[in-house]
Structure 1
Amino acid sequence: MDTSLANTSPETFDEIRPYRDEEVRDVVDRLTKDAELSHSILRFKFPRLAKTGLAKPLSWLVQRTLNQRLAKINSVHDLQVYVESYMAQMIANTTQGFTVEGLEQLFKNESYLFISNHRDIAMDPAFVNYALHVNGRDTVRIAIGDNLLKKNYVSDLMRLNKSFIVQRSAKGVRQMMAAFNLLSRYIHHSIKEEKQSIWIAQKEGRAKDGIDRTDPAIIKMFYMAEKKLGKPFCESIADLKIVPVALSYEYDPLDIDKSRELVQKQQEGHYAKGEFEDIYSIAHGIAGFKGRVHVAFGTPLTGEFADADAVATAVDEQIRKLYKLYPSNYLALDALNEVGDFTLPTFDAKTKAAFNARLATCPEAYKQQWLSIYANPVKNFLGRL
């Protein structure tokens, strides 16, 4: 039985794949003429002016500026080099340091399937990409849910930046299975045939409670395409060269928003997300203060994994060890009076004051949840979760 996907036509993936170099210029031209995009930029940069009679002429100026700044963008690489300067500026303005470890364990010219914990919609893959880029590595293709692509310009921007679409909105079992099978085939095709690495979150949605767990359903999706071809599970997983990645943020720009959502779910049983809430989260995640940020790359999974649960457990174990704990994590555990027999590191008065000042910005009704978000990574490291 043929256990290869090598003969798959690239056109098979047209509805979900990133844009190719030859498509970039047309997409960029379309974006520079998109009135909705220009108005969104205006609202983000100058919210007050966007509500006045000056909105229309100012949006035109935004379009003109975009056209000038993107005039030399003719390939995906051009775009990522252009974005690099903004990433560097964002890191300088919103963090107190960005560190990377583990890349020396990975071959430069190898393609991997990076599975990371998920805390921020846009910044998680952005920080992984930046870490790879500044260390002379090729950037990854990014898995992104179609729930985030409600606007055409958002879809265009994401696909220009090497994102491919996870069709979460598929209706009915048959349509969902077809979508996941296509996704599985694309991941194998990207890594094995096109030699392009992939970034994907360890589960659908962010770990808003600070508890990082891999959903075995993600692993099952990886195997889906080759299962139909009769390829053994352990061989299919080994071929993907899965590398766990841990992203650690000293402070989460959306910590209060996440606390509010979790408390509402606890009290009312559900949380109704606003129409453009994800777009707000992306913008606030980019612009908000993060403290120190650390990206730790693990080692490719090896061994005879019997099933998806075993793979998920192996990913979780690496992420647990790789996760960098900051004073905010330890001080939150202390504030909850849950230190127990663990010896808490000592911190100076300035560090404690910064933590307490941050905590003071959180409404009283959400403080317990806020503290849990920061304390949970310590509990996870200690094996208490």
Structure 2
Amino acid sequence: MPTSSDRFSDIRPYNDAEIQPAIQRVINNDEFIDAIVSFRFSKIAKFTGFLLKPLLRRYFLYKWGSINSIDEMQRVVGSYMQHMIDSTTTKFTYSGLENLDANKNYLFVSNHRDIAMDPSFVNWALFSENFKTVRIAIGDNLLSKPFTSDLMRMNKSFIVKRALKAPREMMKAVLQLSDYIFTSLQNDSSIWIAQREGRAKDGFDKTEPAIVKMFYMHGKKSKIAFNEYIKQLNIVPVAVSYEFDPCDRHKAKELYDKAQTGEYKKSEFEDIESIVSGIVGQKGHVHVAFGKVLDSDFDNPEQVALAIDEQIYQNYYLHPSNFIAANKKLDSVKEVDKKRFEKHLQNIGPELRETVLKMYANPTNNSLCQ
């Protein structure tokens, strides 16, 4: 029988002893170095790539070679995060943490707009108020390259297995995931997980009841009543809002192609490109709103999903871009806001403009319906 420390070994984040070996694998991975060269030095990569690659390896070895613990890795990530906030946002704010206890663990169920930045901004808000940072759920569809899996698991991410096809294997993976989430919450860490599989590309945030059913799998196996188990999870809805979504054009292109042809084909490195775009793209004002713990008596997953949605819609921070897209005339929306949004839309092709406007308008409509 596996012990509690190793029955999650294939999905859990790395521990201290695994950090440095993972760093060495990443630094020596040619695809990782190639990706850095192509994204960071695209204009000169063709002519100087053979010189840049060994220099990059030396640089990463210098920066990461002495990291031997999760805490040290978190400090490194923290320095990158501060630089990213300073260079890609006009303001970062958060609300609601006064309703939570820094000594408790929570299951943060968040709307999902950006692959890497949603949990990163949640973590930064928690860190700023002396809360422990979370363990982050990430789909294995984003980990097709070994170096991406290593990078994510070094940074407190755990794996959600989505690629399995056999029903028995899928059920086994879901039960393992449910068990892992409950065990983490009971012992040593809060959890961040998106309210649905994949980003809300149309700006319409909606919790999938299937996510809640997954939460309860461990409770069901342990014969714990649904409403009692949900209370033990300390579920907190979280709304992350961006004044400008760096990936809005790419999301609109996917929606447009599906509407026109019925399908959309991802390029090989599209997920990695989305992660990079989300990190380096201009975001304007970003706000993270933490809701209150769900403590009602719920009879089924659908009720829980609706309760999460209600808090996300109520707490979602609406930016001028949201009001302008929804054609809402408010005194708080200034002429300078309209010009900023119009400037942002200049990078959007005319065929995608309507889709992008709906993307920004939907949070406003959802909020006003509450």
* TM-score (norm. length: structure 1): 0.93
Contact 1:112 1:198 in 2 (8 A): yes
Which of residues 318, 323, 335 is equivalent to 1:349? Answer: 335
Residue 18 of structure 1 aligns with which residue?
Answer: 13
Counterpart Cα distance in 1 of 2:178 and 2:50: 44
Counterpart Cα distance in 2 of 1:360 and 1:284: 17
Counterpart Cα distance in 2 of 1:346 and 1:23: 51
The one-letter code of the counterpart of 1:217 is A
Residue 313 of structure 1 aligns with which residue?
Answer: 306
- Say which SS state the counterpart of residue 110 (structure 1) adopts: coil
Residue 187 of structure 1 aligns with which residue?
Answer: 181
Counterpart Cα distance in 1 of 2:67 and 2:98: 31
**1:267 is the counterpart of 2:278:** no
RMSD: 1.3
1:345 is displaced (CA, Å) by: 3.8
- Say which SS state the counterpart of residue 280 (structure 1) adopts: helix
Between 1:130-139 and 1:92-101, the stretch displaced more is: 130-139
Counterpart Cα distance in 2 of 1:357 and 1:139: 36
Alignment of 1:228-267 (within 5 A): 228-267=221-260
Residue 287 of structure 2 aligns with which residue?
Answer: 294
Counterpart Cα distance in 2 of 1:199 and 1:116: 7
Counterpart Cα distance in 2 of 1:114 and 1:281: 23
Stretches of structure 1 that go unaligned for 5 or more consecutive residues are 1-6
The one-letter code of the counterpart of 1:42 is V
Counterpart Cα distance in 1 of 2:75 and 2:252: 36
Residue 22 of structure 2 aligns with which residue?
Answer: 27
Which of residues 16, 24, 49 is equivalent to 2:44? Answer: 49
Counterpart Cα distance in 2 of 1:272 and 1:254: 17
Stretches of structure 2 that go unaligned for 5 or more consecutive residues are none
Q: 1:345 to 1:168 in 2, by over 3 A?
A: farther
Alignment of 1:1-385 (within 5 A): 9-52=4-47, 54-192=48-186, 194-334=187-327, 339=328, 344-383=330-369
- Say which SS state the counterpart of residue 11 (structure 1) adopts: coil
1:72 is displaced (CA, Å) by: 2.5
Between 1:346-355 and 1:158-167, the stretch displaced more is: 346-355
* TM-score (norm. length: structure 2): 0.97
Counterpart Cα distance in 1 of 2:256 and 2:35: 30
- Say which SS state the counterpart of residue 275 (structure 1) adopts: coil
1:8 is displaced (CA, Å) by: 6.0
How big is each residue's C-alpha offset from its partner over 1:130-177, in whole Å with a ceiling of 9 and x where there is no partner? 111122111000000000001111000000000000000011211111
1:223 is displaced (CA, Å) by: 0.4
Counterpart Cα distance in 2 of 1:245 and 1:295: 7
4+ residue segments displaced more than 4 Å: none
How big is each residue's C-alpha offset from its partner over 1:57-77, in whole Å with a ceiling of 9 and x where there is no partner? 210100000000112211011
Between the aligned residues of both structures, percent identity stands at 49
Residue 4 of structure 1 aligns with which residue?
Answer: none
How big is each residue's C-alpha offset from its partner over 1:296-348, in whole Å with a ceiling of 9 and x where there is no partner? 111110111000000001101111111000110111111xxxx5xxx634532
The one-letter code of the counterpart of 1:13 is F
Contact 1:330 1:345 in 2 (8 A): no
